[in-house]
Structure formats: C-alpha cells, structure tokens
Amino acid sequence: MADKKRILSGMRPTGPLHLGNLHGALENWIDMQERYDCFFFIADWHALTSNYEHPEKIPDYVKQMMIDWLSVGLSPEKSTLFVQSHIKEHAELFLLLAMITPVPWLERVPTYKDQIVQLAGKDLSTYGFLGYPLLQAADIIIYKADGVPVGVDQVPHVEITREIARRFNYLYREIFPEPQAILTETSKILGWDRRKMSKSYDNAIYLSDSPEEIMEKVSKFVTDPARKLKSDPGNPDICNVFDFHKLYSPKETVDEIRHQCRSAQIGCVACKKKMAKNLIAFLEPIREKRAYYEKRPELLAEIILTGGNKARESAQRTMEEVRAAMSI
C-alpha cells in the first residue's frame, strides 16, 4: 500500500446510479483500484448542500449507492469505501480551514455561479452551498490524497484545494501535499431523449432497473429522426440506439446492424429489441449482485462500518497534526 499513490473521490447520494455514472465514473474507479490506494466515499453532507429540503431520502440513497458500488466491482478489500458523515473529522477540518479561506476564493469557483443559475428554482444562497468546495478540500486533504480523478468541470475544485493546502502549509506547518487533478476522459452517455443521461432529466437507465423497465425505456429511445418508415434507409451514426449497440452488443452484431440500418433491412423496433436484450444481459451480473447485497443488510452494514473505521483512523492522524499546528 505504502508505495501506491493515494487517490480520493466521492459521489453525492442524490438517487440511484445509472449507465452514465457507470461508464463515466465507476469503471474508471474500478480500474484505479489496481494501481492506487483508493478512498471512495458517499458524500451525504454534500447531498444536503442542494437537497437540504428533502433529507429524508438520503439514507436510502446512501445504502443503494453502496450496493451499486459493490455490485459493479468496487471492492472493500482493495479500496477504502466509506460514508462522509461517519467521519466527523471532515467537519472539524472544514471549520478550521474556514478560518483561513478568503470568501472571494469561494465566490469565484465557476461551478458556484453556474449552479446558482441552473438550479434557479432552489434557494442556494446558503452558507453551505458557498462553502461546498471548501468541504471538498477538507475531504481530500484530510487523507493527504495525491490525486483526485475528475472531469474537466471539476478541475477548479482541485485547484482551490491546492490553494487552501498551500495557505495552510504557509501559515502553520507543512502538513498537506497538494493533490493533482487526474483528468478522466469519458464520452457522455445520452438518455432516451438524446440529452445527457441524468436523473434530473428523468431519461436514465438505472443499474437497478428490471429487464421489463429496460425494455420499456429502450422502446422510447429516439432514433434517426429523418427515418420515418422502415423502408427508409437510416443513419446509425446519429442514432443513440446504435451508440448503445456499440457498448453492449458483440462486434459482429454492431457491423450487421450498421449495414442493415443503412440498407433499410432492419426496423428501429427490432433493432431496439436486440440492443435491449444485450443491455439486459450486460446488467444481469450486476442485478444478481445487487440482489445478493439486498438480502444481506448485516453484511452491507459491516462493510460500511469497516470502511469507515479505516478512513477515520487516517483522518484522526491528520487532525492530530492539524490541531497541534493550529495550537488547538
């Protein structure tokens, strides 16, 4: 473990995980487990920053998220998997860092202004929402993480974390390494309406969906809009069903579908059914593992507890150094 670099990443429990989360984030995490000392956490305090009006759903989302993680192949043996609110030290470090963080640093985080506009229906003029990049900074540096896997839009959050770590090191004592952003290049997965797959658009296929739900959702997929009749040739390059074939069907099927669509030998309904069948087969092992953990709540609780204990030990060690450095 000691020679491996440490990385940390989190996800907000705001609903069940979908195919976009799997291909856009989790597959990368699963891969990183082999090369890094990984800390992955369920960011339930962060879920409160924008969902503070409906906290009652969060505990179930937390449980479901851990089931999703375990079912796709995140491993408690390889990684430290935990729930943010179980490690109170994050909140203590957040408070101490707040003393040295200039407010304009937070106000100029691009996602802050962006989200205020995008989520105009919610009152986000809260202290918690302004401070969430600082809480993220605490989440990261409390484990002295070397790297944070992020998408492009999250890079400023790692940048402010580095600035805060630097400021702490300058004011008190060199405790914190400056974490690097590890850019994850992933293509966007689209939902049935061809917008980005997202729970907030209600266009997602969830890892927990039943075969019937998947069939039903796939039947709604928008295909090549110019193709009105089965006898019209289609253009698979602009068809989302075809993109899904590329993800879930064997290469021969993909080649066959490409040819059959272009030459109007297969209709969209049959093409969707083929894709849905392969998608259902792809998700089958995940569904089986989900059922396994659903039936064993004690095992799930044990995994969450053990991961939390491991994380806490590390966080407590850092906090002893921090308190000493700040004369607290």
Can residue 194 be called a binding residue for ligand AMP (CB under 6 A)?
A: no
Q: How far is the CB of 154 from ligand AMP (least distance, A)?
A: 7
Cβ distance to ligand AMP smaller for residue 26 or 276: 26
Q: How far is the CB of 30 from ligand AMP (least distance, A)?
A: 13
Can residue 20 be called a binding residue for ligand AMP (CB under 6 A)?
A: yes
Range 19-22 contact pairs with CB under 8 angstroms and sequence separation of 24 or more: 19/189, 19/197, 19/204, 19/205, 19/206, 19/207, 20/188, 20/189, 20/191, 20/196, 20/197, 20/198, 20/204, 21/207, 22/72, 22/207
Can residue 188 be called a binding residue for ligand AMP (CB under 6 A)?
A: yes
Can residue 245 be called a binding residue for ligand AMP (CB under 6 A)?
A: no
Can residue 118 be called a binding residue for ligand AMP (CB under 6 A)?
A: no
CB-based contacts of 173: which residues, under 8 Å, 6+ apart? 321, 324, 325
Q: How far is the CB of 21 from ligand AMP (least distance, A)?
A: 4
Cβ distance to ligand AMP smaller for residue 188 or 296: 188
For residues 136 to 165, the per-residue mask of contacts with ligand AMP, x marking binding by CB under 6 A and - elsewhere, is ---------------x--------------
Cβ distance to ligand AMP smaller for residue 188 or 323: 188
Considering only residues 24, 133, 147, 307, which one is a binding residue for ligand AMP as defined by CB under 6 A?
Answer: 24
Closest Cα partner for 300 from 288, 290, 287, 309? 290
Cβ distance to ligand AMP smaller for residue 89 or 243: 243
Closest Cα partner for 137 from 109, 113, 116, 118? 109
Can residue 186 be called a binding residue for ligand AMP (CB under 6 A)?
A: yes
Cβ distance to ligand AMP smaller for residue 91 or 247: 247
Contact indicator for 49, 136 with CB cutoff of 8 Å: no
Q: Helix, strand or coil for residue 247?
A: helix
Q: How far is the CB of 188 from ligand AMP (least distance, A)?
A: 4
Measured torsion, CA atoms of residues 225, 226, 230, 231, in degrees rounded to the nearest 10: -170
List helix spans (H) across 172-250. Answer: 211-219, 240-248
CA quadruple 299, 24, 272, 217: dihedral sign = positive
In terms of residues, how long is the chain?
A: 328
Q: Which residue is nearest to ligand AMP (CB)?
A: 24
Residues found near ligand AMP in the complex (CB under 6 A)? 11-12, 20-21, 23-25, 151, 186, 188-189, 196-198
